[in-house]
Chain A
Amino acid sequence: MSDRTIDRVAAATPAPVARKIKGLSDRAIAWIFVGPTIFLLLAVNIFPLIWTIRLSFTNFRANRINRETEWIGLRNYERILTDLDIWLNMQATAHFLIWTIVLQVLIGFTLAYLINKNFRGSPFWTTVIVLPMMLSPAVVGNFWKFLYQPQIGLFNYIVSFFTGKDPSSFEMLGQVNLAPWSIVIVDTWMWTPFVMLICLAGLRSIPDYIYEAAEIDRASKLRQFFTITIPMVLPFLMLAVLFRGIENFKMFDLVVQLTGGGPGSTTELTSINLKREAFEKWRTGYASAYAIILFVTVFGLASIYVKALNKVKER
């Protein structure tokens, strides 16, 4: 008897089952295996997406299911794209996204570079640094709210200590010019460790012999940094940027806890605004169009970015 795996599997298959599948092609068997996954994917991802696209052309409201739903064509899209307030929300989101990524990459990479030096106590400091990202965003939002409190908040006192300004003379969460920065600071505090960990993985993946070869060639430390370290960590950095970009584009919980979107609408990010439209105002058709616009934006940007990432990896 042959000892091929396929023969052993065939021999182990119970006779009734073997009779049933006898005559099925490999392709058919493959479909049987992937079928449930494809079905789930269609049910959980594709169908809701198609349904959302359909709803986006109507005036449907999920809280008024008895009301007749009208087909209103592109009206929802037109309203969203011509609404100045929504463009302001987009601006607030862009401000948050860009600055959190810039700061997290700069600080995260610097910390990873230092931790990678393997100084005494570096494992302890690594643990301390990654603690913030282990906390719940709701908890972080709440305690930063206290830190930012103008009368008793530690943050204001620290700023006051260094600048000499009266601690209660500025309100991080209440002033239009400071509130957007307050959410950037908190997100950076919380998620820089994540970027640091990815950068650390990148730095530790660089073989030592490359640096040794560079030293034999008498390359300076600065030259080694720009020609070895940065290019070899770049794919990791870009991956971190992609993760943080996608996460922060849909940022909700932390900002709601901190500012509730205020003062006014200064920190009302698109996800907060979308939630209000969909589940507080119950304008389901309008919110669907809004979600599609955001989806296309993120999908488009992410596609371009992934192409760039692949090019960097090919180099």
Chain B
Amino acid sequence: MTYSKLATVSALALAVTGAATTSQAEDLTLCWAAWDPANALVELSKEFETESGHTMNFEFVPWPNFADRMLNELNSGGKLCDLLIGDSQWIGGGAENGHYVKLNDFFADEGISMDDFAPATVYAYSTWPKGTENYYALPAMGDANAWFYRKDWFAREDIRAAFLEATGRELAEPKNQLELLEIAQFFQGREIDGKTVYGAAIFTERGSEGITMGVTGALYTWGFKYENTPGSYDMPGAVNSPEAVEALEFYKEFYETATPPGYTNSYMGESLDAFKSGQVAMAMNWFAFFPGLYADPNTGGDKIDFFVNPPQNVPASTLGGQGISVISYSDKQDAALEYVKWFAQPTVQAKWWELGGYSAHNSVLNDPGFADSQPFAGDFLEAMANVQDFWQEPTYAELLLAMQKRVHDYVVADQGTAQEALDKLIEDWTETFEDEGKL
């Protein structure tokens, strides 16, 4: 055998071995929260399994324990997850603590452009430091906090007449936060079909993030800002502005005058239960649940409708949603990146939306038929245009828990004033940023 033949055979053998290595079937584990969209993702991922030969396993954790469970996993360098659909606020910690793989080179090599995704989702779910072109996740699930209501009750003549008499205006979807409260108060304690119903289910949960996600829905619409100048950590005057105080007082009034009794520690699950059991006229929750709500045989279909978080001084919604990241401790990063590449395809994104996931891909969102594809699709587009998120700092958990405590102390436990709650919140946050050397 000549040298050239030998070299050719060797090269072929190497190529075959290499090909065999890259196409080796892997068992991938994707971690996420246990909720409706996760089931849709299981369905969607079957296509990936067929195409790639990899097997997908899923680790879904209920929302109240999701952050605890996953952040412990990341902080201990655990290898449970190869892919993680982590909350937007984790991006800072994920990037700075080395939990997430930086995806810039991968995106460049595979021709994945962040310009193909909605800018708000790229900013919130993918970048760290914020707004820079350093990507640690691909936008996976767009989401925001919004409202749904009993369309059948709103349409009843006797209720409409009573509302007109009580308020002097027609009963319709609220155009601002004050109208929202007025409608909720109108329904509070009202007898409908022989049953006492209540105004609205809002978020009041203490342990994880519930009340913060609820109260920011009001704060943002009053014009709340975390800093006077973005990136300066200069909080006095912004966090405790007169508008913020007014918004917090509004949320407390909402809690006290328009929610069901015993609604002191409630989040997503309780909101859904309250609505589906016919206890409330309206409820706040994440868009992610809306397909399931619409499909509900008792309170869905023509009995339900949806509206975006009403503006007050400005239009705004609390951001939910997550990006998908590759975990740096995974031994199967190549296969995990294959999944990301597959997931980023416009055809897969279209199917994702079809199955109940909220795609953030422009090809889906900008499709002329998108707004009419579901009764809540138009609201989703409107909400995503004005979303705001909580701090995404590496110390976000500390910042979040401080807000949970201060807000719950004021709203639910009725301790102190709104001004005091926000002043104390600034003290807590200042201490955190001082410890971090950012102040």
Hey, which bits of chain A sit against chain B, CB under 8 A? 59, 62-64, 66, 85, 148-151, 153, 168, 171, 173-174, 176, 256, 259-266, 276, 279-283
Residue contact A151 to B415, C-beta cutoff 8 Å: no
Interface residues of B in 265-308 (CB under 8 A from A): 265
Can you identify 10 A-B contacts, CB atoms within 8 angstroms? A168-B261, A176-B415, A260-B206, A262-B408, A263-B408, A264-B410, A265-B405, A266-B413, A279-B72, A281-B397
B264 touches A171 (CB 8 A): yes
Contacts of B397 in A (CB 8 A): 280-282
Q: With an 8 A cutoff between CB atoms, is B68 at the interface?
A: yes
Residues of chain B in range 403-429 having any CB-CB distance to chain A below 8 Å: 405, 408-410, 412-415
B68 touches A262 (CB 8 A): no
The answer to whether B413 and A151 touch across the interface, beta carbons within 8 angstroms, is: no
Contact of A174 among B265, B409, B410 (CB under 8 A): B265
Among A59, A171, A259, the residue within 8 A (CB) of B262 is A171
Q: A174-B264, A262-B206 are in contact. List 9 more A-B contacts (CB 8 A).
A: A63-B93, A173-B262, A174-B412, A176-B414, A260-B205, A263-B412, A264-B412, A266-B413, A282-B398
Residue of A nearest to B416 (CB): A264
Which residues of chain B come closer than 8 Å to A148, judged between CB atoms?
262
- Chain B residues positioned under 8 Å from A266 (CB to CB): 413
Q: Find chain B residues with CB under 8 A from A171 CB.
A: 261-262, 264
Chain A residues with CB below 8 A from B405, complex form = 85, 264-265
Measured CB to CB, the closest approach of chain B to A167, in angstroms, equals 9
Q: Which residues of chain B are within 8 angstroms of A63 by Cβ–Cβ distance? A: 71, 74-75, 93, 97
Task: Give how many B residues have a beta carbon under 8 Å from the other chain's beta carbons.
Answer: 32
* A271, B68: Cα distance in complex, Å: 16
CB-defined contacts of A259 to chain B, threshold 8 Å = 206, 265
Docked-complex contact B97 and A64, CB < 8 angstroms: yes
**Are the C-beta atoms of B398 and A263 separated by less than 8 Å?**
no
B435 within 8 A of A: yes
* B264 partner residues in chain A, CB cutoff 8 A: 171, 173-174, 262-263
Q: How far is the CB of A143 from chain B (nearest CB, A)?
A: 15
Over the window 95-107 of chain B, the binary record of Cβ atoms lying under 8 Å from chain A Cβ atoms (1 yes, 0 no) is: 0011000000000
- Find out whether the CB atom of A281 lies under 8 angstroms from the CB atom of B261: no
B residues with a Cβ closer than 8 A to A are 67-68, 71-72, 74-75, 93, 97-98, 205-207, 260-265, 394-395, 397-398, 401, 405, 408-410, 412-415, 435
Flag if B265 contacts A281 (CB, 8 Å): no
Q: Which residue of chain A is the closest to B399 with respect to CB atoms?
A: A281
Residues of B within 8 Å of A66, CB to CB, are: 97-98
Q: Which residue on chain B has the smallest CB distance to residue A62?
A: B75
Separation of A261 and B397 alpha carbons in the complex (Å): 17
Q: Which residues of B contact A263 (CB under 8 A)?
A: 206, 264-265, 408, 412-413
B413:A283 contact, CB within 8 angstroms: no
List 10 tightest A-B contacts by C-beta distance, closest first.
A264-B413, A174-B264, A264-B409, A262-B206, A260-B207, A150-B262, A263-B413, A63-B75, A281-B398, A150-B261
The residues of A that contact B412 with a CB separation of less than 8 Å are 174, 262-264
B262 touches A282 (CB 8 A): no
Contacts of A150 in B (CB 8 A): 261-262
Taking the closest CB of chain B, its distance from the CB of A3, in whole angstroms, is: 59
For the complex, give the distance between the alpha carbons of A150 and B262 in Å.
Answer: 6
From residue B294, how far is it (CB to closest CB) to chain A in Å? 27
Contacts of B75 in A (CB 8 A): 62-63, 282
B76 to chain A, nearest CB (A): 9
Looking at the assembled complex, report how far the CB atom of A212 sits from the nearest CB atom of chain B, in whole angstroms: 56
Distance of A80 from chain B, by nearest CB (Å)? 13
- Complex-state Cα separation, A263 to B97, whole angstroms: 34
Q: Which of chain A's residues have a CB closer than 8 A to the CB of B93?
A: 63
